[in-house]
Structure 1
Amino acid sequence: MEDISVITAVHHPLRRRIFDYLLLYGTSQVTAISRALDSQVGSISHHLRMLERAGVVQRAEDPSGDRRTSWWMLSRNSFTWSADDYADAPADALLAREAERNGIRGQIDRLQRWRRRHRAGDLPQYDGYSTETLGWATPAELQDLSERLRRTLDEWRTSIDRTDGQERMPVFFFSHAFPTEP
């Protein structure tokens, strides 16, 4: 089970964007993150320290050896959790539910932004997709599905050769699996 401080740290909207930036671009300088996310350097630095306290990011050596700049990298690249994990701690359960809501809002917002850009013709070569299904599962089988999907996504992400000269865009994947009624 994830510590609630990790969950609340990552599910703040700007901190989530910082996490995503570092996941996509790797070790980065604060000013580069600030420019890319259109945020003040001081704000980015503050949120990086919050993520550092939660064990999500860590300071990195400046590749040029210049110690006047601040570089950061991820300490980890994925999280698996459920708000139900915190049922025995009411205060943490409240925080987990809010983090869950923030995460889902962020996922839907990303989807809507992509759809607007795609319809406007900004990304004609990138067709998104939607996939869904129904099946039967025990709690252990649902957990197994989660682990298989995480492994598959990790393998897919690391299999891409970003040095092959092809133009790429960041791609966001999200999936939810949960008990339901037909």
Structure 2
Amino acid sequence: MPDSDNENDPRPFRRDGTDHRIHNVDARTLRAIAHPLRLRLLNTLREFGPATASKLGDRLGESSGATSYHLRRLAESGLVEDAPELGKGRERWWRSVHDGSMFETTDFRTHADPEVRGAIDFVLHETATAHAQELNTWLGTMGDWPEEWQRSWDLSDFKLRLTPELALELSGKVQALMESYRDIIPEDTEGSATVRTHLHVFPRPSE
């Protein structure tokens, strides 16, 4: 599928310098993911790969009827699709069309449609909540991991004085560094694990 920046394309995406497809969120797809279960379904498919509505329901503690309905809504927006080669009989498998999403927050925070402004606020707060949940899960289960991993994790924060331009530059450099580590370890490498990294950059008042 060619790269596309056309707003009328139901599945616009760009490549991030690798083979990973990054979805460029527009107002239509933003509305589609501004729902707690749809956002969780999309993130789960992206992290763990294709699954049926039943498997997703079991993982997320939802009924297969609810997951089926919201998967269809995501499919209508071009965010997920059938994976027919994985199904047996009437079994229907779903996969994410993209590997991740990107958007410019200010494009939506100043949008003329209040529904869009509400949708971006919801997605941002849900994302922040998910980050906190992932970190708390690690803190609660780190004792189950080998000692090497218990010495390899990090929980740091830094206080820097920057201009908006330098803050943007910093984020770009950190993201580029993260991408330089992508796919250098084969899936079956002994002792390896998927590592989750959160990047938060935001200003705080001086007083």
> Do the aligned partners of 1:8 and 1:99 also contact (CA within 8 Å) in 2?
no
Aligned to 1:81: 103
Aligned to 1:44: 67
User: How far apart are the structure 2 equivalents of 1:123 and 1:12?
Assistant: 33
> Do the aligned partners of 2:46 and 2:100 also contact (CA within 8 Å) in 1?
no
Give structure 2 stretches of 5+ with no counterpart. 1-23
Q: Secondary structure at the match of 1:98?
A: helix
1:121-132 to 2 correspondences below 5 Å: 121-123=143-145, 125=147, 126-127=149-150, 128-132=153-157
Q: Secondary structure at the match of 1:105?
A: helix
Q: Secondary structure at the match of 1:22?
A: helix
Aligned to 1:33: 56
> Do the aligned partners of 2:50 and 2:96 also contact (CA within 8 Å) in 1?
yes
Aligned to 1:156: 181
Instruction: Report the AA paired with residue 59 of structure 2.
Output: A
User: How far apart are the structure 2 equivalents of 1:31 and 1:149?
Assistant: 38
Aligned to 2:204: 180
User: How far apart are the structure 1 equivalents of 2:173 and 2:29?
Assistant: 23
> Do the aligned partners of 2:34 and 2:120 also contact (CA within 8 Å) in 1?
no
The alpha carbon displacement at 1:155 in A equals 4.3
The alpha carbon displacement at 1:70 in A equals 0.9
Aligned to 1:56: 79
Q: Which digits, 9 at most, give the CA deviation of each residue in 1:6-60, with x for residues without a partner? A: 3344353333332232223323333332333332222221221222223221112
Instruction: Please give the TM-score of this superposition, normalised by the length of structure 2.
Output: 0.68
Instruction: Report the AA paired with residue 178 of structure 2.
Output: L
User: How far apart are the structure 2 equivalents of 1:156 and 1:10?
Assistant: 28
1:54-133 to 2 correspondences below 5 Å: 54-63=77-86, 66-86=88-108, 87-91=110-114, 92-118=116-142, 121-123=143-145, 125=147, 126-127=149-150, 128-133=153-158
Q: Secondary structure at the match of 1:158?
A: coil
Q: Secondary structure at the match of 1:44?
A: helix
Residues 45 and 153 of structure 1: CA distance in aligned 2, closer, same or farther (over 3 Å)? farther
Instruction: Report the AA paired with residue 136 of structure 1.
Output: L
User: How far apart are the structure 2 equivalents of 1:131 and 1:164?
Assistant: 27
User: How far apart are the structure 1 equivalents of 2:35 and 2:197?
Assistant: 19
The alpha carbon displacement at 1:67 in A equals 4.9
The alpha carbon displacement at 1:165 in A equals 4.4
Instruction: Report the AA paired with residue 34 of structure 1.
Output: G
Instruction: Report the AA paired with residue 40 of structure 2.
Output: R
Q: Secondary structure at the match of 1:42?
A: helix
Query: Paired residue for 2:162, among 136, 140, 150?
Result: 136
Q: What RMSD over aligned residues (CA atoms) do the two structures have, in Å?
A: 2.9
- Alignment size in residue pairs: 177
Aligned to 1:18: 41
Instruction: Please give the TM-score of this superposition, normalised by the length of structure 1.
Output: 0.76
